[in-house]
Amino acid sequence: EPEVTQTPSHQVTQMGQEVILRCVPISNHLYFYWYRQILGQKVEFLVSFYNNEISEKSEIFDDQFSVERPDGSNFTLKIRSTKLEDSAMYFCASSRIGQGQETQYFGPGTRLLVL
């Protein structure tokens, strides 16, 4: 069964450094998402992306964040200057167009630790 994959599984960085989290969505999906989950808390929506444009974004997704589909398979989340409070698990998700479009399939996550 196709699944969303994410790399790396863990990333440790220093405060102020840039990080790029990578995702490979399910191949026939066209909507892509990033969510984050601070340890022990709920999953929070960051951004959705379709046709090389942001569809929707939350208040959390400020100018420090950006998303990109650099090629036909990868979807990335960049955090320009990381802060301590960016430490969280970041999940990528994808969904199809048409029937079942509301169902989002999540990857295993990247655990980001900012020191």
Q: Which residues bind another protein (CB under 8 A)?
A: 4, 31, 33, 35, 41-45, 48-50, 55-56, 58, 91, 95-97, 101-109
State how far the Cα of 6 lies from the Cα of 87, in Å rounded to an integer: 17
By C-beta, is 35 or 75 nearer to another protein? 35
Min CB(4)–another protein separation in Å = 8
Return the number of other C-beta atoms located less than 10 Å from residue 53's C-beta: 8
Cβ proximity to another protein: between 42 and 63 the closer is 42
Measured from the CB atom, the residue of 73 and 103 that comes closer to another protein is: 103
Strand 10-13 and strand 110-114: pairing? parallel
Q: Which residues contact 66 (CB under 8 A, 6 or more apart)?
A: 77, 78, 80
Q: How far is the CB of 98 from another protein (least distance, A)?
A: 8
Least distance from C-beta 76 to another protein, angstroms?
17
Q: Are 28 and 96 contacting, i.e. CB atoms less than 8 angstroms apart?
A: yes
